[in-house]
Structure 1
């Protein structure tokens, strides 16, 4: 009998918790009759404040173990300008270290910034697929061990392609981006050193 009473008390507590969670849920995150919540408006049709349209995040780039070792980071700040338009800026830094015996010991510091635009062109057909365009500026500093000379060079690249964005919440998504470097020239050592090939693949979060 006591165990039954304990079970009833537990059920009442759980039911109360569920009811409280429903009453205190963020109304902006509720599904409205099975539809996705708007990205720039509340459920009452009011425009979201500037701060609530901002999205922060980034990704890990140039990740390689061994020789060479490479690791980079690319923070991003994006703004939901309209229901289907995102604009943003980002920075990037990649550290690469070549070691003996296969390479002469050399350190590469690659850094730069970018501005980008993403537009969801066919939301009724393929939701969350964006046309993606950006301008990226990259600079590389080369430091050879034992040499006082430091070489620096840079390149500006226009990139065009697509981004598929999988929403996690209204202000956060997992993004897979495939871009083509319009400024890539296979005969230019600088372009090869920074990008390796004309295709740029990224996995980012914002």
Structure 2
């Protein structure tokens, strides 16, 4: 009986984002990544590169059970895993980075039909590109990521090459359509040539 009067657990701020319209979601994600420290953004780039395999496994399991599984389903699962890993630093960081990567992946999907999401995504990817070089120091000794999850990155490249790789290879090509990316390429003196065959998170 007394359970009826217990205070309801506050909703995760990340789950609350899923209720926003596309414009508000895009602005919130952009601000979130802008305020994020460089090391975390670098690790989110690693998570993003490994997100599709993780989501694919969950998608396959859902299909077997006759269910549907998208990034909108993955984000609540990541929040649950993050909350469950409280006190376990490795799992906590891993699920936090995957959660942030999923938020970015959702932004990619929304960018197909929403100009605000397209602009926000372009700005976020510029931030990730500028921070990619930190992985040369962060990744080799990091124990959160498995060795095969690190294989996406050639850490022997120059800082400039890692920046270019992030925009031309890692970034979903839809963001390359935005003037923000064209201006970024000009400012950082490289040729914009996005990898068109990248598998993204849009239907």
TM over 0.5: no
TM-score by length of 2: 0.23
TM-score by length of 1: 0.23
Higher relative contact order (CA 8 A, sep 6+): 2
Higher helix proportion: 2
